[in-house]
Amino acid sequence: MQIDTLTSLLTQDNGPWIVWGIALVLFLAGVFLSWPTLRRGYRDRRLQKKIRAVGADVLHQVVISDGMDGVVYLENLLLTPDGLLVLPVHRYQGVVFAADGIDNWTQVLGKRTYKFSNPLPQLQSEIQAVKGYAAKIPVEGCVVFTPGVEFPKGRPDKLLSIEELDALGEQYRTREVPSAYWQAWESLKRQVLTPEMSQLRQEYAIEKDSAFNVRMVTGLFVLLIASVWLGAYYLLR
């Protein structure tokens, strides 16, 4: 009975308007759900290209031992003429009040205020973990922050903007990586790119991106429903 009623409604003179109206609502809902993930994916690809331009060689999403029966996740580890560079990315927005020696930083978005942990102690832990694999190479680290953020009360030295990242890449491209650094780098890769570490690497990456994946899949599913809805209407006319 419900199918007959729906068929009758869609075969009226205003049927196409109803079909296209529903399809438009579904399409907009699908775009709304999937767009943030698509946009972030596009920005991440551009950012990864800039990061790769800084290092002579790069490892992404690496899990290594911390030397104390635990593991550390490294978003980006680079080989440069100055040694190894640990380069996590933090996507701040709005206004951020930050300092080296405080436990929590404050983010202001419009009228809302958020607290989040100072990322620099974690960065130092990552640097120490890398030193355990490459004791003969200098290891440094910086936190890259994406555009769209201001630091009105000053910015810690270990934070790096996209523009500064580009400038660093330009500087390194004019210099050679010492052969001793290359040898140590290849040794490090053999230690961290084991089957066990690769499994942990996949688990960390999946856990990190799962929220975005769910929203993305939902958005694509809604877009599929919109397409099926239109296709079914024109097939049954």
pLDDT digits (tens, 9 = 90+) for 101-110: 899 999 998 8
Contacts with 89 (C-beta within 8 Å, 6 or more apart), sequence order? 47, 75, 76, 143, 144, 145, 146
pLDDT in tens, 109-129: 888 899 989 999 999 999 999
Q: Tokens in use for 29?
A: 């809902």
Helix H or strand E segment including 63: strand 57-65
Q: DSSP code of 92?
A: -
Predicted pLDDT of residue 190: 87
The arithmetic mean of pLDDT across residues 27-53, rounded, is: 76
Higher pLDDT, 223 or 102: 102
- With a cut of 70, say whether residue 69 has pLDDT above it: yes
pTM for this entry:
0.71
Q: Which of 38-42, 45-49, 66-70, 233-237 has the lowest mean pLDDT?
A: 233-237
How do residues 202-215 score in pLDDT, each as one tens digit? 666 655 555 556 76
Range from 99-103, 160-164, 201-205 carrying the lowest mean pLDDT: 201-205
**CA–CA dist 124, 204 (Å, integer):** 19
Residue 41 has a pLDDT of 67
DSSP-derived secondary structure letter, 70:
-
Provide the angle, in degrees to the nearest 10, between the axes of the packed helices 15-54 and 2-10.
Answer: 90
